[in-house]
C-alpha cells in the first residue's frame, strides 16, 4: 500500500505552479463574479486543478445561473457536470485525497453529434462511461460563462461548500478546447502535468485565477478583467500546495479507530486541522509516508484533551489498541494539556523530559529515517536536550523514545513511517492544526534547506518539508 500515487510524485522540471487557494466549508469560503455578455454562448471550456480534503460530501467547484450550469463532486464521490440543459455524471468515483486532479469540461452545442456537445476529461483522458447522461439540444445556450452570477467554491444558494485546494482555474469563453491546452503527459513518467496557459485567448467572459496575489486572491490574470470577489478567504489560504508540488495533509481515508463503528474525526482547513465531535478514538496518518531521508513538520495545539502526536507505520491502528497500549507508535500523549507520557514500540511510558503544553504552543517534529531516530520539541526547543541536526538524543528515560523508533521500521515488514495524530474525546474536545510546510496558522516564514515550506520555527539542518518535490530529490 503506497499513500503517494505516481501522479503526484513526478520529478521537478517544466512549468511550475506557484500557488493554490485553500477552501474550507466551515468558514463558508467562496469567490463570486457576475459576468457580462459572452463572446459566444454555445462554446466554452473550463479547466481546474484540485485536491479534495473530504470525501462523501456534496460539494461544488463552480456554478452559474441558478445552478443551471456547474460542476459538483457528489456525496457518492462521482463528478457531475451540467450545462446548457445537459448533464454528465461519471461512473468512476474520485476519492483520493492525496492526489491533484485536472478536470476539464467542454461545451460545444453547435455539434451535430449529441454525445459530443458535453465532454469531460480527467488528467488528460476523456471520460466516456457515465451513470447518467443527457445531451443538450443543438445550439442550446450555455449557462456557464453567460451574463449571470458565477460562484467558485460553492453553489448559488450558497451551499455545498468545497473542501480542498484549487489551482490554475481557467475559463475560456467562445472556444471548445482540448485538455492539451492546459496540460501534457510527461515524456519520462507519463504523468499528466500542467503547462502555461499564458498564450490562450480567453474571450469576453474568460478568466484565469492563479491566486498569486495574497491581498487580492480573486485577481483575474487573463487580461479580460474578470476579477472575482473574495468571501471569507484570507491571505493564509493562499498556499504552495499545488499540482507541481504536493504537500502532505492528514488523510481522511485512513482513519483507524478503537471505539464505535463510524470514525467521527473532524478535518478542516485543507485536512490540516483535526478535532473530534463525539465519544470516539481515532488515529489519523499523513498522506505521505517515508522510509529514507530527514523530515520536519509542526503542530499547534489548543490544549486538547487526550491527543497523541508522533509517528507510526502502516500496521498501526489495524488492531483494537490505542497508541498507549500498542507497540506501533512513537510519540507523546497529552491528557488535558498535561504531559501524560511518551510511548514507543515495545511499550512503556517514560515521563522524564516531556514538556507541558499550553494553548497556542507549537510542537516541532524531526524524523530521521536514515538513522531511525525521532525528535519532538516545543516552541523550537527539543525535549530532553535532543538535537536533530547533530544527532544527539539527550539523556534520561525519554532517550528511549528516540532509540526505540528504529523498531517501527521493521514491524511486519512495513517500512514507511507516517506523521500521525490520535484523538480521543471521551473526556473533552479540542483541535490541533498540522503544518507540513503548508501552514494553517500565521507567523510562518521559515523554510527548509531546499527553500520549500513555511514554518514557525527553522527546520533543523538537513530536515525537509513533506512534499513531492523534496521526495523526488531525496529518492533520485
Q: What is the pLDDT of residues 109-152, one digit of tens each?
A: 999 999 999 999 999 999 999 999 999 999 999 999 999 999 99
Give me the CATH code for the 6-239 domain, please: 2.60.120.200
Instruction: Tell me the average pLDDT across 232-258.
Output: 89
Question: What pLDDT does residue 228 have?
Answer: 98
Domain boundaries, the chain: 6-239, 256-474
Q: How confident is the model at residue 255 (pLDDT cuts 50, 70, 90)?
A: low
pLDDT at 283 over 80: no
Q: Do domains 6-239 and 256-474 have the same CATH topology?
A: yes
Average pLDDT over residues 316-325: 58
Sign for the CA dihedral angle at 233, 236, 242, 248 comes to: negative
Count the Cβ atoms, other than its own, within 10 Å of residue 164.
Answer: 26
In this predicted structure, what is the pLDDT of residue 331? 81
pLDDT of residue 7: 41
Locate 105 and state its grid cell: 469540461
Least confident of 10-14, 155-159, 298-302, 315-319: 10-14
pLDDT band per the 50, 70, 90 thresholds, residue 360 = confident
Q: Bridge-partner residues for 420, per DSSP?
A: 285, 310
**What pLDDT, on the 0 to 100 scale, is given for residue 432?**
83
| Mean pLDDT calculated for residue range 172-178 | 98
Give the pLDDT of residue 45.
98
What lies within 8 Å, CB to CB, of 296 at 6+ separation is: 364, 365, 366, 367, 388, 448, 453, 455, 459, 460, 463, 464, 465
C-alpha distances in angstroms, 234 versus 29, 57, 163, 230, 457? 9, 24, 15, 9, 22
Q: Does residue 12 contact residue 472 with C-beta atoms inside 8 Å?
A: yes
CB atoms within 10 A of CB 471: 23
For residue 241, pLDDT over 60 is answered with: yes
Question: How would you classify the pairing of strands 294-301 and 381-382?
Answer: unpaired
Average pLDDT of every residue of the chain: 86
Q: Which class for 178: exposed (0-12), middle (13-18), buried (19 or more C-beta within 10 A)?
A: middle
pLDDT at 258 over 90: no
Q: What is the DSSP string of 360-413?
A: TPEEEEEEETTTTEEEEEETTEEGGG-BTTTTB--SSTTHHHHHGGGGGGTGGG
Confidence category of residue 392, pLDDT binned at 50, 70, 90? confident
Q: 256-474 sits in which CATH class?
A: mainly beta
pLDDT recorded at residue 272: 94
Instruction: State the pTM of this model.
Output: 0.93
pLDDT of 282: 73
pLDDT of residue 303: 59
Residue 8 has pLDDT above 50, yes or no: no
d(CA 111, CA 365) in angstroms, rounded, equals 57
Residues contacting residue 208 through CB under 8 Å, at least 6 positions apart: 168, 169, 170, 171, 197, 200, 202, 220, 221, 222
Model confidence at 412, in pLDDT bands (50, 70, 90)?
very low
Residue 5: pLDDT over 50: no
> Average pLDDT of 385-407?
69
Residue 133 phi/psi, 5° resolution? -150, 130
**Average pLDDT for residues 22-46, to the nearest whole number?**
97
Q: Is 372 left (phi over 0), alpha (psi -120 to 50) or beta?
A: left
Share of the chain above pLDDT 90, in %: 61
> Given a cut of 70, is residue 263 above it in pLDDT?
no
Q: Which residues make Cβ contacts (< 8 Å) with residue 144, sequence separation at least 6?
A: 44, 46, 62, 64, 65, 69, 70, 83, 107, 150, 171
Residue 427 has pLDDT above 80, yes or no: no
C-alpha span between 143 and 148 (Å, rounded): 8
User: At residue 474, what are phi and psi to the nearest 5 degrees?
Assistant: -65, -35
pLDDT digits (tens, 9 = 90+) for 62-110: 999 776 899 999 999 999 999 999 999 999 999 999 999 999 999 999 9
Q: Rounded to 5 degrees, what are φ and ψ at 23?
A: -110, 140
Amino acid at each position: 500500500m503506497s499513500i503517494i500515487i505516481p501522479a503526484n510524485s513526478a520529478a521537478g522540471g517544466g512549468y511550475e505552479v506557484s500557488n493554490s487557494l485553500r477552501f474550507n466549508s466551515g468558514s463558508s469560503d467562496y469567490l463570486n463574479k457576475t459576468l457580462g455578455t459572452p463572446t459566444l454562448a454555445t462554446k466554452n471550456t473550463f479547466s481546474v486543478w484540485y485536491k479534495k480534503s473530504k470525501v462523501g460530501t456534496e460539494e461544488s467547484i463552480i456554478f452559474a445561473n441558478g445552478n443551471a450550469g456547474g460542476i459538483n463532486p457528489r456525496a457518492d464521490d462521482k463528478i457531475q457536470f451540467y450545462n446548457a440543459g445537459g448533464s454528465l455524471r461519471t461512473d468512476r468515483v474520485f476519492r483520493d485525497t492525496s492526489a491533484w486532479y485536472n478536470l476539464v469540461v467542454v461545451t460545444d452545442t453547435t455539434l451535430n453529434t449529441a454525445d459530443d456537445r458535453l465532454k469531460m476529461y480527467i488528467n488528460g483522458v476523456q471520460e466516456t462511461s457515465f451513470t447518467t447522461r443527457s445531451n443538450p439540444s443543438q445550439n442550446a445556450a450555455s449557462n456557464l460563462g453567460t451574463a449571470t452570477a458565477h460562484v467558485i467554491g460553492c453553489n448559488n444558494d450558497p451551499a455545498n461548500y468545497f473542501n480542498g485546494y484549487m489551482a490554475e482555474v481557467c475559463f475560456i469563453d467562445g472556444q471548445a478546447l482540448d485538455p492539451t491546452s492546459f496540460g501534457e503527459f510527461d515524456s519520462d513518467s507519463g504523468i499528466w502535468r500542467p503547462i502555461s496557459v499564458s498564450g490562450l485567448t480567453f474571450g469576453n467572459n474568460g478568466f484565469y485565477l492563479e491566486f498569486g496575489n495574497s491581498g487580492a486572491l480573486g485577481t483575474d490574470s487573463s487580461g479580460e478583467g474578470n476579477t472575482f470577489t473574495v468571501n471569507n478567504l484570507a491571505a493564509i489560504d493562499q498556499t504552495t500546495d499545488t499540482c507541481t508540488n504536493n504537500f502532505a495533509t492528514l488523510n481522511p481515508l485512513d482513519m483507524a479507530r478503537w471505539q464505535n463503528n463510524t470514525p467521527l474525526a473532524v478535518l478542516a482547513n485543507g485536512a490540516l486541522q483535526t478535532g473530534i465531535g463525539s465519544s470516539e478514538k481515532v488515529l489519523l496518518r499523513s498522506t505521505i509516508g517515508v522510509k529514507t531521508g530527514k523530515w520536519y513538520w509542526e503542530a499547534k495545539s489548543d490544549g486538547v484533551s487526550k491527543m497523541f502526536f508522533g509517528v507510526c507505520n502502516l500496521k498501526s491502528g489495524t488492531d483494537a489498541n490505542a497508541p498507549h497500549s500498542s507497540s506501533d507508535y512513537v510519540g507523546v500523549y497529552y491528557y488535558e494539556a498535561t504531559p501524560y507520557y511518551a510511548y514507543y514500540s515495545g511499550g512503556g511510558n517514560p515521563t522524564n523530559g516531556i514538556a507541558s503544553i499550553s494553548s497556542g504552543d507549537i510542537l516541532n517534529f524531526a524524523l530521521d529515517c536514515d538513522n531511525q531516530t525521532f525528535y519532538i520539541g516545543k516552541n523550537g526547543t527539543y525535549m530532553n536536550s535532543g538535537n536533530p541536526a547533530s544527532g544527539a538524543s539527550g539523556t534520561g528515560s525519554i532517550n528511549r523514545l528516540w532509540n526505540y523508533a528504529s523498531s517501527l521500521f521493521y514491524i511486519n515488514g512495513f517500512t514507511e513511517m507516517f506523521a500521525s495524530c490520535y484523538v480521543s474525546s471521551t473526556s473533552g474536545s479540542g483541535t490541533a492544526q498540522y503544518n507540513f510546510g503548508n501552514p494553517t496558522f500565521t507567523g510562518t516564514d521559515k523554510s527548509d534547506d531546499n527553500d520549500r515550506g513555511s514554518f514557525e520555527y527553522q527546520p533543523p539542518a538537513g530536515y525537509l518539508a513533506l512534499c513531492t518535490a523534496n521526495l523526488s530529490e531525496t529518492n533520485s
